[in-house]
Amino acid sequence: MILKKNNALLTYFFLTILSFSLLTLSGCSTYIAAKQDDVLTQIDVWASEQEYGKAFETLNYVKKTHPQYESLQQRKKSLLIEAQEYEQTIHQKIVKLIEQDRWAEALDLLDIAKAKYPKSKNLAKTQQLLLDRQANELQKLAQKLMLERSQWMIQARPLFKEKTIISPRDKDFKKQLDALNKEAFELAAQLTRLSQQESRRGHYSHARKHIEQALALEPTPAREQILQQLKQRASKTYKRKKKARSVVIKKQQTNILQEIEKNFQNGNLIKTKMLIATLNDSEKNNPELIQLEQELDRSINYRIQYHFAEANKFYTDGQFQQAIAHWQQVLLYDPKNKIAQKNILRAEKVINKLETLREKQQN
């Protein structure tokens, strides 16, 4: 009996020691790997599998006495570059997935990357980016849901009130209306806070929309005052922006006038005409511009007459292509000139007939 007890104790003691040894060995697997002779090959295998966590952990345990120490230090430098490229690739993929609203895939990809490279600071930043974007989108959705719910409440609550009027003894109707009134009170408070936040950001149109909904749910003098303040701010902002915009437009018009003068002086008549067309009506009443336009029209008419004369001369001499080129110049100054259009068609027909006769003679 005593012998059996001793044997049992010995067996239990042996199993305990064995379990502890296995646990210790499993926890130091990296260290054991670092003591093997061919660590470099194992590092390359992990690198090919993008298991950078295991690779760097092993490299950090390698002692200077290891025969491959110098080679491993060189490999560590190249491995750092590979790991950085891996981090960048993962970051770009996750950003793209977020933009495509493929959140589940983005989260799965990040989990895989972090498992392969747990101590990566860049992957931690990517994770924070993902979480921030996720929180931002959820906040937007929460606001949309609140707005939709409040809009429904504005329309539905009067109907529930009507139910209690028609059936005043129905306790369920009364409970439903009480619940809606409580929710309307809370929604109005949330919408008021949201309106104030939007107002501080300068988004007065959104702020006004939210406070108007809050007023429709639960009208109070304080909310009415907020609405009036928003209207005043929106009006001031509009006037300020309008004034700033008019200053910008005036400056642009001045620049265009300078360009018009410059191009006219350089003989760029077509560009001058195009620039005049971009001016505001108020600027077109400028006396100096009216005088310049008159000079421009005279210059354009002179050039049209010149190109007509040159085209007729070339046509008479049988140089039809040169004649067409001058009529096309006429159309640049006067796109609707029917004489130039007809003359071009006539010259092209003559050219086609001449080419047909030439081909027949050759055959």
Q: pLDDT tens, position by position, for the chain (363 residues)? A: 444 444 444 444 444 433 333 333 333 444 444 445 588 899 999 999 999 999 999 999 888 888 888 989 999 999 999 999 999 999 999 999 999 999 999 999 999 999 999 999 999 999 999 999 999 999 999 989 999 999 999 999 999 999 999 999 999 999 999 999 999 999 999 999 999 998 888 888 889 999 999 999 999 999 999 999 888 887 777 777 778 877 887 888 888 888 888 988 888 888 888 888 888 776 777 777 788 888 888 888 999 999 999 999 999 999 999 999 999 999 998 999 999 999 999 999 999 988 888 888 877
- Residues 19, 79, single domain; the answer is no
- Residues 24, 44, single domain; the answer is no
Q: What is the pLDDT of residue 6?
A: 45
Beta carbons within 8 Å of 37's beta carbon, 6+ residues apart? 67, 68
- Residues 196, 154, single domain; the answer is yes
Q: Structural domain tally of the chain?
A: 4
Q: What is the pLDDT of residue 114?
A: 96
Query: Taking Cα atoms as reference points, which of 281, 283, 289, 274 lies closest to residue 253?
Result: 283
Token reading at 199: 């107002």
* In-domain check, residue 275: no
Q: 62 exposed, middle or buried (CB, 10 Å; 0-12, 13-18, 19+)?
A: buried
- Residues 78, 25, single domain; the answer is no
Q: What is the pLDDT of residue 37?
A: 59
H/E run at residue 51: none
Cβ-defined contacts of 218-221 (< 8 Å, 24+): 218/184, 218/185, 218/188
Q: How far apart are CA 117 and CA 216, in angstroms?
A: 54
- Residues 56, 10, single domain; the answer is no
Structural domain range at position 67: 36-119
pTM given for the model: 0.54
* In-domain check, residue 247: no
